[in-house]
Structure 1
Amino acid sequence: MLKQTIASPFKSMRKDGLKKNEIIYYLTLDRRWMNKDQAEKVIKIGLEEGLLTKEKDMLSPAFDASSVEIPIGFKPGSEILKRRDPVEEILGRIAEKNKAEISKVTAEMNELIRVNFDGHLSAAAASVILARKYGVPFEEYLSELKKQAKVT
């Protein structure tokens, strides 16, 4: 949904780059999807997650916005303003791939940390080990995982 929200102003205005205020105008006044603070947060999250790139005062999608389908009547929900924990995302992907309960995958991660590393491994690192074990992509979360590993 975040990708659709970010792609929408670029598709609508048929431009590859927009100024921050143009995106905020589109999201707040044109579509009335959110207020100014929320629109600024969408831009911030987009930049942090690598969905937007910034060159001088221009923002551009880091993906082909024209290929993103935006359904008629689309309106982003408030969940796009909440960043999900990358460890949770990875564990969810593992559970989905293996058709397992998230609690079982979490238990496996906790056992890996406790038994194999005597509790000296972060959840971020353990989630990457499990992702590799099960062949689940995790690369898009690496920068955020590295930040978490330094903090925890």
Structure 2
Amino acid sequence: MDELMLVAATPFKRNNKNSLSIKDFEFVLSFDLKWMAPDVASKIRDRAIGSQLLKFQGAELIPNFDISNIEIPHGFKPSESIFKERSAIEDIIALIVANCGKSARDTTALINKKQEQLDDLVDIEVAGLLTARELGCDIDLIYDRIHNKVFSKQEMST
């Protein structure tokens, strides 16, 4: 299971709620659990929103996945890697996992298959976006990031 998904689910599970204010979400991560500083909790929240693990409903944050299917392991604490920026393809995989209930392994296989079907003529991130779209995921929040990455890469090669 994706570590960011576990972290995003924890405040909701801990409070036994399906929605939380931004303040309450960040409070759990930083003060209740003492996992991170408040400014880092804000960055984790933004990353979870960007990965479409969380979304806004009015002024409340709600998970974009079924938290009842998430089991937080006893003694779980996020690793240092969660504080590092994820690659675009990692965000696409997390998006598909969160919205379609597929494993990261199955998702990676689907993306690789899509890239092979396109004769490897597109970047892996483009194949990931196509796969996400075919599976019914909303890719709007990540599309611009991929578009900019792909086209800035092309400009550098010309």
Q: TM-score range by the shorter chain?
A: 0.5 to 0.7
- Which residue in the other structure is 2:61 paired with? 59
- Which residue in the other structure is 2:26 paired with? 24
Question: 1:136-151 maps to which residues of 2 (within 5 A)?
Answer: 138-139=131-132, 143=143, 144-151=145-152
Please give the alpha-carbon distance, in whole angstroms, between the structure 2 residues aligned to 1:87 and 1:74.
25
Moved over 6 A (4+): none
Give the drift of 1:70: 0.6
Q: Does 1:73 align with 2:80?
A: no
- Which residue in the other structure is 2:124 paired with? 127
- What TM-score, normalized to structure 2? 0.64
- Which residue in the other structure is 1:37 paired with? 39
Please give the alpha-carbon distance, in whole angstroms, between the structure 2 residues aligned to 1:72 and 1:14.
17
11-20 or 77-86, which deviates more: 77-86
AA aligned to 1:59 is: L
AA aligned to 1:126 is: D
Give the drift of 1:69: 1.4
* Residue 8 of structure 1, aligned match among 2, 10, 25: 10
Give the drift of 1:145: 2.3
- Which residue in the other structure is 1:82 paired with? 84
Please, which runs of 5 or more residues in structure 1 have no aligned partner? 98-104, 114-120, 132-136
- Which residue in the other structure is 2:96 paired with? none
Please give the alpha-carbon distance, in whole angstroms, between the structure 2 residues aligned to 1:5 and 1:60.
13
CA contact (8 A) 2:8 2:48 kept: yes
- Which residue in the other structure is 1:118 paired with? none
Q: Percent identity?
A: 28
Please give the alpha-carbon distance, in whole angstroms, between the structure 1 residues aligned to 2:65 and 2:72.
15
Please give the alpha-carbon distance, in whole angstroms, between the structure 1 residues aligned to 2:32 and 2:72.
16
- What TM-score, normalized to structure 1? 0.66
How many aligned positions are there?
125
Q: 1:130 to 1:21 in 2, by over 3 A?
A: closer
Q: Which has the larger radius of gyration?
A: 1
CA contact (8 A) 1:7 1:66 kept: no
The DSSP-based 3-state class of the residue aligned with 1:53 is strand
